[in-house]
Structure 1
Amino acid sequence: MQPLDADAIRASFVNCSRGEAKSVTLPADVPWATRDFLGWRDPKAPGRAYLVVPRDGSVVGLSLRAAPPASSRSRSNMCAFCSTTHATSDITLFTGRRAGKAGREGNTLGTYVCANLSCSAYVRGELKPDVPQPVETLTLDQRVARMEDNVRRFVDRILEPH
């Protein structure tokens, strides 16, 4: 992902007000070269998360809400973005208001994703999940492409006019 400055990140948000975008706590020290999208949890408000994704030569930012963490560590679930399996407590339901009129009317969309939004790091093996992973025959490039497609589809659904 191309490096973005604070102004570009704040201007990218499509499902929150300018005031909300201005108050976003931005991440520090992003390893841009190994990230396919920028995702982070707000350290000042753990129930808030943000996703900034390259799209059609620009970037789209989404403000998300994180559901409370599950308490069970004995079960596992798979991230909808990177297909990494985690303990259920390490997968979070993230919901975002739809863009435009639908969002102003209260319509949201959600998906289950790595709680730390570090999907790029899991796909590249920079981070290791705590549970065994299914064996995959896809190459790294294929896994990255699959993740990018999954993220793009989620963003597209948020942007769909309803």
Structure 2
Amino acid sequence: MKSLAERDIRTSFVNCSKGEAARLSVPRELDQLPWGDLDFLGWRDPGAPDRGYLVVEREGRLVGVTLRLASARRGSSHRSMCSLCLTTHPSGGVSLMTARKAGAPGREGNSVGLYMCTDLACSLYVRGRKVPDGGSRIEESLTVEEQIARTTGNLSAFLEKLYA
């Protein structure tokens, strides 16, 4: 992914108002992110733990999506798998994230959801740049490039649902 400026990030959101996009928390130190290892920019809002955001280049333009995290179940010790990158995590490492649909369906309250890495670091897990706490990556016969393609394909399918 190419590096992004705050202005580009804020103007990319498709499922919130311009006012909401202007107020959301953008990662600090954008110039220090590992842009070459990112397929999308994903982050959690430190001031609102139930919110996350992702920005991806899609069909030649940036698409930003606001996400809500479902409330975590307490005391659960099960492992979960991210639907984007197929990384497994212990309890809390994968969350159901929902996004309000774009346009009129979103204004009517319609949303779509997907289980994702809670820290939205899928790109780094796939490349082996980050290891999940207490979790693991499935040993696969696919190359890293094929795993990246699968992850971006899964993200693209999720984004398609925002417009359906």
Q: TM above 0.5, one fold?
A: yes
Report 1:1-162 matches (<5 A): 1-28=1-28, 29-72=32-75, 74-129=77-132, 130-160=134-164
> Which amino acid letter does the alignment assign opposite residue 99 of structure 1?
A
Q: What does the per-residue CA deviation read over 1:63-83, in whole Å, with 9 as the maximum and x for residues that have no partner?
A: 111112233453111101101
> Which amino acid letter does the alignment assign opposite residue 86 of structure 1?
H
User: Structure 2: any 5+ residue segments left out of the alignment?
Assistant: none
Change (3 A) 1:132 1:22: closer
Helix, strand or coil: the match of 2:146?
helix
Helix, strand or coil: the match of 1:116?
coil
> Which amino acid letter does the alignment assign opposite residue 124 of structure 1?
R
Helix, strand or coil: the match of 2:52?
strand
CA distance in 2, matches of 1:131, 1:81: 15
Q: What does the per-residue CA deviation read over 1:117-156, in whole Å, with 9 as the maximum and x for residues that have no partner?
A: 0000100111112134432111000000000000111011
Helix, strand or coil: the match of 1:2?
coil
Change (3 A) 1:156 1:45: same
Helix, strand or coil: the match of 2:115?
strand
Identity %: 46
Q: What does the per-residue CA deviation read over 1:21-67, in whole Å, with 9 as the maximum and x for residues that have no partner?
A: 00011112322111000110001111111010110011100011111
Change (3 A) 1:33 1:133: closer
CA RMSD between the two structures: 1.2
CA distance in 1, matches of 2:76, 2:138: 18
User: Structure 1: any 5+ residue segments left out of the alignment?
Assistant: none
Helix, strand or coil: the match of 2:147?
helix
With the length of structure 2 as denominator, give the TM-score of the two structures. Answer: 0.93
Contact 2:86 2:137 in 1 (8 A): no
Contact 1:81 1:151 in 2 (8 A): yes
CA distance in 2, matches of 1:93, 1:23: 24
CA distance in 2, matches of 1:27, 1:63: 14
Q: Greater CA deviation, 102-111 or 151-160?
A: 151-160
Contact 2:87 2:136 in 1 (8 A): no
